[in-house]
Amino acid sequence: MLLLLRQPFLSGPAVSASPLSSLFRAPHHCSSSAYISAAASSTSSDNPTVPSSFSVEDYLVSKCKLYPGVAARVAPELSAIRSPSGPDAVLAFLADALGLSPSLVAVAVARDPKILTCSVPKILEPRAAELRALGFTTFQMGLVVARCGAAVFRSPTLPVSVQFWLRYFHGRVDKLVGALKNNPVLFTADLKMVSSTIALLQEEGGLTDDDIGWFCVSYASKLLVANPEEAEVVLTRADEFGVPRKTRPFKDAIVAAFCMTPERIAWKAVFFRDELGWSEDQVRTAAAKMPTVLMVSVERLRRNWEFLTKEVRMDAERVANFPALLRYDLNGRLVPRLRVVRVLQARRLWRGRDFINVATIAEEDFVSKFIRPFLVKVPNLAKVYEAAD
């Protein structure tokens, strides 16, 4: 998308070297009259005598920093603009009220040129006020524009869409804005169709409102904005994993069925059999207990399988019954925990033998059970854990 910008912004350090947050400027809370005043001042100072024939194409190049070819393509959409005062006010609003950097302002205009025709006091300011009332910060409103486009921001249906989705995030705007990264069409989807699809997933698949919120940030987020017929096909394919509907594993089955083609699922099953040496029954067992194990990359499957069989001495039957072991981060979870328990075993401070319990408990529980109680007798235990990470 940044290819739409002129070279000064492409090579500037604010775009190439800074994190996303640095692309947003510190907000200045100005009224619409201030934006219009600033725009008028800018116009008069930059060009004391405004020419009678205003060129939209030149404006897009000089003020919005679009490439000439892009400006020529979008200029016909803005033929109604006769002077720079209105567009200047819009640019000032995007920069000051939404905290967008010049590069992101340019991207916003390139994606939605008609934003320049919007009235700041009648459309843009009221929309920002509505979002603030719903809990949005300046930065979060800027993210809506950056991820969904200015057309979404200026749409009169945006507040309704926001209220619809917020119910699945317990009112947390930060979670909703985060979901836009995976699925920016949440705010443009047909809510009537979405409601039907969600109702089907909840009635037939047993998903809860919390599950819907989780789906929004998952690989399967686009399933929520599909039509009910497509969702029904996914549910039917999810049944093939052998997981009863309305159970917790069925949620994983829906994700796997949506994200993987039947051919990909069949290929991954062959990989388990031919490369890892699993039996057909063991593959079915693992897929039924955690269908998304089939989504794990081949590289991770190989590394984790080698570790579990060589270091932990587990067999396929055992791993198939606890397939989450194949999904865990090897160096961030499995290796550090094994090293800790080996230190405890060497000092006869822990006599357990089941690595599954060690690997599957939550991080906080692991530290509480295997690190803190032994720091007096093994002062360097925390360092062993950190060094292995």
Kindly state the average pLDDT of the residues 70-84.
93
pLDDT at residue number 191: 97
Q: 124 and 165: one domain? A: no
Q: Do 152 and 13 reside in the same domain of the chain?
A: yes
SS3 sequence, 62-127? HCCCECHHHHHHHHHHHCCCCCCHHHHHHHHHHHHCCCECHHHHHHHHHHCHHHHHCCHHHHHHHH
Rounded average pLDDT over 27-43: 50
**Whether residues 245 and 277 fall in one domain:** no
Q: Provide mean pLDDT across the span 178-194.
A: 96
Question: From CA 161, how far away is CA 184, in angstroms rounded?
Answer: 12
Q: What is the mean pLDDT of the chain?
A: 88
Percentage above 70 pLDDT, the chain: 86
Q: Are 79 and 25 in contact (CB under 8 A)?
A: no
Domain-terminating residue out of 156, 182, 217: 156
30-62 as b/e: b if 16+ CB within 10 A: bebebbbebbeebbeeeeeeeeeeeebbebbbe
Quick one: 147 and 169 in the same domain? no
Q: For residue range 122-148, what is the model confidence (pLDDT) as tens digits?
A: 999 999 999 999 999 999 999 999 999
Together in a domain, 130 and 22: yes
Tell me what the mean pLDDT of segment 253-264 comes to: 96
Distances (CA, A) of 330 to 118, 269, 302, 333: 52, 22, 11, 6
Q: Please give the sequence-ordered ranges of beta strands (E in DSSP) within the chain, or none if there are none.
A: none
How far is C-alpha 250 from the chain's CA centre?
23
Q: How far apart are CA 246 and CA 253, in angstroms?
A: 11
214 and 247 housed in the same domain: yes
Single-letter code of the amino acid located at 317:
E
Query: Which of 24-28, 89-93, 296-300, 347-351 comes out lowest in average pLDDT?
Result: 24-28
The 10s digit of each residue's pLDDT in 94-119 is 999 999 999 999 999 999 999 999 99
Q: Are 116 and 80 in contact (CB under 8 A)?
A: no
Instruction: Assess whether 233 and 277 both reside in one domain.
Output: no
Cβ(256)–Cβ(225) under 8 Å?
Answer: no
- Give the three-state DSSP class for 158: helix
Local structure of residue 332 (DSSP, 8 states): I
Give the mean model confidence (pLDDT) for residues 82-86: 94
Q: What is the per-residue pLDDT for 348?
A: 94
Handedness of CA 312, 313, 319, 321 (dihedral sign): negative
Choosing from 123, 156, 189, the residue where a domain stops is 156
What helix, strand, coil percent values describe the chain, rounded to 5? 70, 0, 30
Domain range for 85: 2-156
pLDDT for 47 beyond 70: no
24 backbone dihedrals φ, ψ, rounded to 5°? -105, 130
Q: Band the pLDDT of 12: cuts 50, 70, 90.
A: very low
Tell me if 101 sits within 8 A of 146, measured CB to CB: no
Mean pLDDT of 325-339: 96
Specify whether 140 is located in the same domain as 14.
yes
Q: Do 173 and 242 lie in a common domain?
A: yes
Query: Does 136 lie in the same domain as 202?
Result: no
Is 361 in a helix, a strand, or coil?
coil
| 23 and 99 co-located in one domain | yes
- Both tokens of 177, joined, read 């804005």
Q: Which of 83, 76, 75 is nearest to 51 (CA)?
A: 83
Higher pLDDT among residues 8 and 85, named by residue:
85
Bigger pLDDT: 19 or 346? 346
So what's the pLDDT on residue 204? 96
Q: Minimal CA–CA distance to 240: which of 261, 219, 271?
A: 261
Inform me whether the pLDDT recorded for 33 exceeds 70. no
Residue 2 DSSP label: G
**pLDDT reported for residue 26:** 41
Cβ contact 5:66 at 8 Å: yes
Task: Answer yes or no: is pLDDT of 231 > 50.
Answer: yes
Neighbouring C-alpha atoms within 13 Å toward the C-beta of 151: 8
6 and 151 housed in the same domain = yes
- How many domains, the chain? 4
